[in-house]
Amino acid sequence: MTTPPIHVVGGGLAGSEAAWQIASAGVPVVIHEMRGVRGTEAHKTDDLAELVCSNSFRSDDAENNAVGLLHAEMRLANSLIMASGDAHQVPAGGALAVDRDSFSAAVTARLEAHPLVTVLREEISGLPPAEWDQAIIATGPLTAPSLAEAIRAETGADALAFFDAIAPIVHFDTIDMETAWFQSRYDKVGPGGTGKDYVNCPMDKDRYFAFVQALIDGGKTEFKEWEGTPYFDGCLPIEVMAERGVETLRHGPMKPMGLTNAHDPAVKAYAVVQLRQDNALGTLYNMVGFQTKLKHAEQVRIFRMIPGLKNAEFARLGGLHRNTYINSPVLLDGSLQLKSRPGLRFAGQITGCEGYVESAAIGLLAGRFAAAERLGRPLSTPPATTAFGALLGHITGGHIVSDDEPGKRSFQPMNVNFGLFPPLDPGTKLKPEGFEGRFRGKDKASAKKRAVTARALADCKAWLGLEMRQAAE
Ligand SMILES: Cc1cc2nc3c(=O)[nH]c(=O)nc-3n(C[C@H](O)[C@H](O)[C@H](O)COP(=O)(O)OP(=O)(O)OC[C@H]3O[C@@H](n4cnc5c(N)ncnc54)[C@H](O)[C@@H]3O)c2cc1C
């Protein structure tokens, strides 16, 4: 009996990788890609896995950088995107940058040449039909409107964002807690909360005025034509609010009411910046209401003016652009399957990851999960200690829903970063063998990264080994 195919909708970074993984497992796959029949606002060619903007896969340093680690794990997992990236790289220092045309042409050629892969050029305008018992939707940030509408109808009105308003995210251990303090407004205790769920950074009047002026003067990123509708109600960029009047922010996201400075209760702050826990581990905090289209370097400069954030390191900077992504932590199970429609998976940026590499990595996982299911093998998910697992955890469950605004989604797209990984075991030896002299903060931070990446690669190899044994049984 022939194995029925798995259908992949969208032949971008995620869909191409998913299809490759499925075919490599010996299962037939059909890619349905609309380019060739209908274009998007950003793609320029009909090639699969087109890079719509930069040609960089970012750092290739697997020891010290989370995306470099993800590269390494993907190479271990027979990634087509990484193999093609490596084969078509151009000099870029420690980064992996590629010749975009030959990269996409190579991905297209490998897929088209594979005997188990069929590429159909067509737009899929509704959810997959019932006869596609196994399907993956990987239609990306620019999903065609009719399919987006069908997804919205299936998942509920609040479940699909069409516009991405992102606020910066800060590594908690870089916040100065001698200046900032934990407190929820009016000490309100929400479900699962403690009344101390926010980090608060106080400002006096002079600092506040200087900060508002810096926001107004700061360099902004211009909207591109395709970015269409400027803003959604309720997510105005912080600098646009600042331009509406010097007191606007103090009556909006920076209001000081219901907060008492734990370090100096007698002094009332003129304004307060709040940060909300962003992941279950408590290693990342997002700046509440600080969605912005300031240029990245300007964000770093201006947000470090905030007391308590002088030395802040950002896991992600803010931005505003059209995006289509689902509320994955609510809608998907741990194997990227839509809870309401078993057999239908999502992959790539539409799941709420961000970036070429992350999208391809989630495509890789969705492809492996779907193939395992088709072949009747047990589904094994990557350990949380790996970059694969950390990213999957972010998408399928690792975020916090706000206590103060019940029902409000707090899940936002993100690149892979060290804040998503579980902490090291307390006894982990960080000092290299034979290390003499002072082990300074900087040495410790790099040693920690190296320990996290070494653990990840070992656990990833063990996971892939287990999968191979299961395949052989
Ligand atoms: C303007 C812009 C600039 C970006 N710049 C960068 C950057 O510099 N670096 C970076 O890392 N990331 C960047 N990104 C994000 C990047 O696009 C994604 O991370 C990555 O391409 C997502 O991969 P994907 O496979 O999920 O989606 P895509 O690569 O977009 O692939 C989705 C595919 O689905 C197809 N499709 C859509 N709807 C349908 C349908 N109904 N039927 C059939 N096919 C359909 C599309 O034609 C497309 O080929 C940018 C995104 C945008 C929009």
Which of 317, 343, 378 lies at the terminal end of a domain, its last residue?
317
Is 183:198 a contact under the CB 8 Å cutoff?
Answer: yes
pLDDT per residue of the chain (473 residues) written in tens, 0 to 9: 689 999 999 999 999 999 999 999 999 999 999 999 999 878 889 999 999 878 889 999 999 999 999 999 999 999 999 999 999 998 887 789 899 899 999 999 999 999 999 999 999 999 999 999 999 999 999 999 899 999 999 988 666 766 666 789 999 999 999 999 999 899 987 666 688 888 999 999 999 999 999 999 999 887 654 454 444 445 678 998 999 999 999 999 999 999 999 999 999 999 999 998 877 788 889 898 898 889 999 999 999 999 999 999 999 898 776 788 898 998 999 999 999 999 999 999 999 998 999 999 999 999 999 999 999 999 899 999 999 999 999 999 854 444 444 334 467 788 999 999 999 998 888 887 887 778 777 788 889 999 999 999 999 999 999 777 777 77
Determine the distance from the C-alpha atom of residue 471 to the mean position of all C-alpha atoms in its chain, rounded to a whole number: 30
**Torsion sign, CA atoms 404, 389, 379, 75:** positive
- ipTM of the complex model: 0.99
**85 Cβ below 6 A of ligand 1:** no
d(CA 25, CA 134): 15
The reply to whether 206 and 113 lie within a common domain is no
Report the run of H or E that residue 360 belongs to, with start and end: helix 356-374
The reply to whether 13 and 101 lie within a common domain is yes
Report the run of H or E that residue 16 belongs to, with start and end: helix 13-24
**227 Cβ below 6 A of ligand 1:** no
pLDDT at 225: 44
Q: How would you class 407 by CB atoms within 10 Å of its CB: exposed for 0-12, middle for 13-18, buried for 19 or more?
A: exposed
Bridge partners of 287, per DSSP, are 275
For residue 216, the SS3 value is helix
DSSP 383: P
The reply to whether 234 and 269 lie within a common domain is yes
Is 283:301 a contact under the CB 8 Å cutoff?
Answer: no
259 is in an annotated binding site: no
Which atom belonging to ligand 1 lies closest to the Cα atom of 16? 25
| 9, two tokens | 């909708």
Enumerate residues 6+ apart whose C-beta is below 8 A from 213: none
**108 Cβ below 6 A of ligand 1:** no
The reply to whether 333 and 415 lie within a common domain is yes
Is 348:14 a contact under the CB 8 Å cutoff?
Answer: yes
Neighbours of 195 (CB within 10 A): 15
d(CA 363, CA 350): 11
Report how far apart the first and last C-alpha atoms of the chain are (Å, whole number).
20
Please state the pTM of the whole predicted model. 0.82
The reply to whether 22 and 159 lie within a common domain is yes
Is 8:2 a contact under the CB 8 Å cutoff?
Answer: no
Bridge partners of 271, per DSSP, are 203
453 in a domain, yes or no?
no
**142 Cβ below 6 A of ligand 1:** yes
The Cα-based distances of 51 to 59, 109, 166, 446 in angstroms read 16, 16, 22, 31
d(CA 95, CA 82): 13
384 in a domain, yes or no?
yes
243 in a domain, yes or no?
yes
439 in a domain, yes or no?
no
Total structural domains within the chain = 2
The reply to whether 100 and 175 lie within a common domain is no
pLDDT at 235: 63
The reply to whether 143 and 223 lie within a common domain is no
The reply to whether 13 and 151 lie within a common domain is yes
215 in a domain, yes or no?
yes
DSSP 66: H
44 in a domain, yes or no?
yes
What CATH number corresponds to the domain at position 31? Answer: 3.50.50.60
Determine the distance from the C-alpha atom of residue 34 to the mean position of all C-alpha atoms in its chain, rounded to a whole number: 25
Edge to edge, what strands does the sheet with 314-316 contain? Answer: 181-182, 198-203, 271-277, 284-287, 169-171, 314-316
| Single-letter amino acid code for the residue at 139 | T
Q: How would you class 427 by CB atoms within 10 Å of its CB: exposed for 0-12, middle for 13-18, buried for 19 or more?
A: exposed
The reply to whether 197 and 290 lie within a common domain is yes
pLDDT at 92: 80
Task: Choose which residue among 20, 31, 34 to substitute to test ligand 1 binding: the one with the highest number of ligand atoms within 8 A of its C-beta.
Answer: 34
**Residue located via tokens 């909006």:** 252
d(CA 271, CA 253): 9
For residue 23, the SS3 value is helix
Neighbours of 316 (CB within 10 A): 20
d(CA 239, CA 198): 22
Distance 52 CA to ligand 1 centre (A): 7
| 204, two tokens | 């006096």
Is 374:3 a contact under the CB 8 Å cutoff?
Answer: yes
| 241, two tokens | 């609010």
pLDDT at 94: 79
d(CA 163, CA 320): 7
452 in a domain, yes or no?
no
| 353, two tokens | 């990851």
Which of 384, 402, 420 lies at the terminal end of a domain, its last residue?
420
CA angle 399, 403, 406 (to 5 degrees): 95
| 223, two tokens | 């909207």
**324 Cβ below 6 A of ligand 1:** no
258 is in an annotated binding site: no
| Single-letter amino acid code for the residue at 238 | I
| 402, two tokens | 């706000």
The reply to whether 174 and 221 lie within a common domain is yes
Bridge partners of 284, per DSSP, are 171
For residue 100, the SS3 value is helix
363 is in an annotated binding site: no
Considering only CA atoms, give the Rg of the chain. 23
Pairing of strands 198-203, 271-277: antiparallel
**138 Cβ below 6 A of ligand 1:** yes
Which of 317, 343, 369 lies at the terminal end of a domain, its last residue?
317
11 is in an annotated binding site: yes
Is 184:403 a contact under the CB 8 Å cutoff?
Answer: yes
What CATH number corresponds to the domain at position 229? Answer: 2.40.30
d(CA 373, CA 26): 12
Which atom belonging to ligand 1 lies closest to the Cα atom of 56? 9
Range of the domain at 186: 169-317
1 in a domain, yes or no?
no
The reply to whether 414 and 348 lie within a common domain is yes
The reply to whether 101 and 179 lie within a common domain is no
